[in-house]
Amino acid sequence: MRKRRKDLFGNNRIFTFSLMVLFCMILIQCSVEDRQNAEEKRSELIQPAKWWEKLPRPIYATLKKVETSQKWFEVYKLTEDTYAIYEPYQFEEAISYLVIGKERAAVIDTGTGIGDLKQAASELTDLPVSVVNTHTHWDHIGNNYQFKEIACFNNPDCFKKLSAGVDNARLKKSVTGDSLWNPLPEEFDPDTWKIPPVEPTTLLEEGNLIELGERTLEVIYTPGHSPGSICLLDRKNRILFTGDTFFPGPLYAYPEDVNIDDYMASIKKLKKRLDEYDYLCSGHNDPWVKSEVISRVDDAFQEIMAGGGKYKEGNGIRRYYFDGFDILIRADMIKNKKT
């Protein structure tokens, strides 16, 4: 009879092998759980559970609400001829703006495409309305297809995204689960929802002036959040429409198409022109923000890059907390960090 061979510790080999397998399984399980925990933490940083419990944001109580037939939107009158068209029920809290001159009007961004923006605009002005896109992320171009005249910055990324449109698979997750806290409009079908491709009719350059009749919007090129991002300066009313270059938050400085050096340079560019505007009309969350925040965003980026700032981290993403805004950034984007 063959004698069972024993290992160094005096155990038989089958027993030792079983122990090793069990140990490996525990290690694998722990690493899967670690990854799941990190991913859950990351998701919570980007989209906190029950995010809508913070609504309405305090600023809205100070603004004049205007009724339209389009209940998906809340519409606020910011100045005599400026309206914020806000989508509070979906996580993006997208805001489009109707800017009315003496001869024509512009919608700055067109939201998610869930509501009928053209109808809402037509109830606020009789003038012809054209679109000016601050950039071409899906939640800013949803209703572009409803309008004949569409302007975007002269950047390949802009027309590539506009001409591609956005398919249902990409969009549908934006109206499922916790992304939504109020019913969608009855006529809206999430199963067939697409953002149709469009072609821009006007390509904008730095310094271009968009004439609306006794009201002008100046194009300020502010790449960083996306390659073709612009802000629009209404000098007469001292308002800066920022798109996603600034919004309270959190500011998205983490997605793949963000160029953090460009983003920081764009904030500095806006800071140099602070004497030309008093309020920011931002692309999400809050339509009326005092312009001084731009200076503090510049300071915040400097602090982050020097290894400072309070943050939480999940799976490579950090959410930094500042007074009145947050910044989401990838940990690997941070240079000179102390840790």
- Could you list the residues that contact Zn ion (CB under 5 A)? 137, 244
For residue 83, the minimal CB distance to Zn ion (Å) is 21
Of 256, 330, 258, 334, the closest CA to residue 301 belongs to 334
Write down the least CB distance from residue 132 to Zn ion, Å: 15
Specify the residue, 137 or 161, whose C-beta has the smaller distance to Zn ion: 137
| Shortest CB 255 distance to Zn ion, Å | 8
**Which residue matches tokens 């904030």?**
267
CB nearer Zn ion, residue 100 or residue 329? 329
Provide the minimum distance between the beta carbon of 261 and Zn ion in the complex, in angstroms, as a whole number: 18
Q: What's the chain's length in residues?
A: 339
With respect to Zn ion, which residue has the nearer C-beta, 92 or 218? 92
Whether 112 and 122 have beta carbons less than 8 Å apart is answered as no
Residue closer to Zn ion by CB (options 237, 245) is 245
Choice between 137 and 215, CB closer to Zn ion: 137
E-strand stretches of 13-81: 64-66, 74-79
Residue 81 or 244 having the CB closest to Zn ion = 244
Q: Where are the beta strands (DSSP E) in the chain?
A: 64-66, 74-79, 82-86, 95-100, 105-108, 129-132, 150-153, 202-204, 209-211, 216-221, 230-234, 239-243, 251-253, 279-282, 289-290, 311-314, 317-322, 325-330
Nearest distance, CB of residue 28 and Zn ion, angstroms: 38
Sheet holding 311-314, edge to edge: 251-253, 325-330, 317-322, 311-314
Shortest gap between Cβ of 260 and Zn ion (angstroms)? Answer: 15
